[in-house]
Every structure is written in structure tokens, then in C-alpha cells.
Chains A and B, each alone.
Chain A
């Protein structure tokens, strides 16, 4: 595929349930980002990977949020014991190695609804 893909596109979870969201970046893109976007807001940074290394996780809102990218390609964002405030669209973006600048390419997002 040519773009970033995410699955599932939609997820409904009961409060307290664990969820796992998947991101397949563009082949060759070493940088991968996760964002959380609430309705009517801009994307909020969660975490960033360079290959398999998680270089910045300062945006993760709590220790219930965990992200991994074990082989430097596919990434999974896991949310444990989901709460209603976790309801949002989770966007993944990848970026090729930067030169002067390097834009991010976003996936379509996973819309998470916690009941």
C-alpha cells in the first residue's frame, strides 16, 4: 500500500476493557508518531518512535497508555482499563528521514468510543 494504514477503523469498548490499536507506516519511514484527537480539537502528541526506539513518550496521558514498535515497522498503541475520557480518534503518522524538512503522512485514524 502507498499510505499509512490503521486498524481497526472503529472500536467500541466497555469501560475497563483493554484495547490495542495498530499502525502500519509507509515502508521505509523510520519515524512514527501517535496522536490523540478529540472532537473539534487538533491532534495531541502522544509518543514518537525512531525505528524501534521510543524516543519521546511525554504525551502519554497516563500509565494506562503503552506503545511499542518492536521491529521498527508496525506499531501498536495499547490502552488498558479504558475510561470514557479516552474516547477520541487515534492518529498514526510516519515520516521519512528528514532533510531540510519532512512532512508527516497520517493514517485514517482509529475512532475509539468507550461506553
Chain B
């Protein structure tokens, strides 16, 4: 089965840095996604990690440690528009030879001035 854990809510100040953690327990691990979801909108892709280490993409970075079942999303130079839910999703091998992401409940990030 899948068990994905991330904090329910975080707050941060505009211009600051915030780290959103995700821990998981799964069989057949095949990568971890981070998605951003603004209220009332569809999730949008941020990053994908399958190997250990840090992936940097502009203001956003994502880190993975497979041995620890741990990932984090790092957001730098926070902007008000970064207020959203951040979803951690673990990809598992499924029947039919495909890979299906299983999502955590999301971390609601509130950025204030």
C-alpha cells in the first residue's frame, strides 16, 4: 500500500524561503512528483525526482532520498501567488505495465506580506 505524509498547512512571509516535507512508504517506488494546486483549479506539474539528490528549477527545488523515503520542495523568494496547495505524489508500478501517481493530502501554503 501507499502511505504519504506531508504537513497540512504552512505559513511564510513574502520574499522568504519555505521547505515543504513529504515522507512516504511504498512498494514499487518509481519516482516522486510535486504538483501545485491553486484553490478551485487543477493541479499543475512542478517537479519529478527518481534519483537521489536535488533538482533545481528556478525558484523551486525538489530533493529526494529514496533510502529515507523522504522528499522536500523548496520555494525561494516567495511571492503572494505562491499561496496554494502543494501535493506530493509517489509513482507506483501498476497492472498493465504502467505507473500511477498516488497523492498525499497536500500542504496548504499561505504567503503573507
Contacts and interface: CB of A to CB of B under 8 A. Distances in A.
A65 interface: no
Contacts of A107: 42
Contacts of A56: 94-96, 98, 100
Nearest to B101: A104
A25 interface: no
B42 A50 contact: no
B43 interface: yes
B11 interface: no
A4 B43 CA distance: 12
A108 B42 contact: yes
Interface in B12-27: none
B104 A55 contact: no
A40 B9 CA distance: 11
Interface residues of A, number: 26
Interface residues of B, number: 24
B102 A45 contact: yes
Contact of A103 (B42, B45, B105): B45
Interface in B28-52: 31, 33, 41-45, 48, 50
Interface of A: 4, 31, 33, 35, 40-45, 48, 50, 53, 55-56, 91, 98, 100-101, 103-109
28 contacts: A35-B103, A40-B106, A41-B106, A42-B4, A42-B103, A42-B104, A43-B87, A43-B103, A45-B100, A45-B101, A45-B103, A48-B98, A55-B98, A56-B95, A56-B100, A98-B98, A98-B99, A101-B31, A101-B48, A101-B50, A103-B33, A103-B45, A104-B45, A105-B45, A106-B44, A107-B42, A108-B41, A108-B42
Given A43-B43, A104-B45, A107-B42, 19 more contacts: A33-B100, A35-B103, A40-B106, A42-B4, A42-B106, A44-B103, A48-B96, A50-B98, A55-B95, A55-B96, A56-B95, A56-B96, A56-B100, A91-B42, A103-B48, A104-B101, A105-B45, A106-B43, A109-B42
